[in-house]
Amino acid sequence: MGKKEFLKYLDKYNNERIRMRITVENGKVVDIVVQYETLIEGKWNAIVRYDCAHGFFHRDVLFPNGDKDKQVIEFDSLETALSYAEQDLKDRWEFYRNRYIKKAKK
């Protein structure tokens, strides 16, 4: 079993990043975590996470008060799910960040 973990930064200031962890067995992806994090006041905050915890692929949208919005997403394979998760976070990180900050101000 091989595990790879790495970060991909989304902005030139390195304040926005995607944390990725991929587990492969016999050449097949068997587990993934793809998480968008933002740096606010010197602290990294998890905003959106895609993973296979609980035995199924899903997205957790995380809120400043600790609440989560869980959505099951079905794909043919974890390879496809991995690509989807990464692309969604690259495309929509600003939306996710702005919503998180708006919720934090309430």
Residues in the chain predicted with pLDDT less than 50, given as ranges, are none
- pTM (whole model) above 0.85: yes
**Number of structural domains the chain divides into:** 1
Domain that holds residue 21: 2-104
Residue for token pair 């970060």: 7
Residue 105 has what pLDDT? Answer: 86
The pLDDT of residue 45: 97
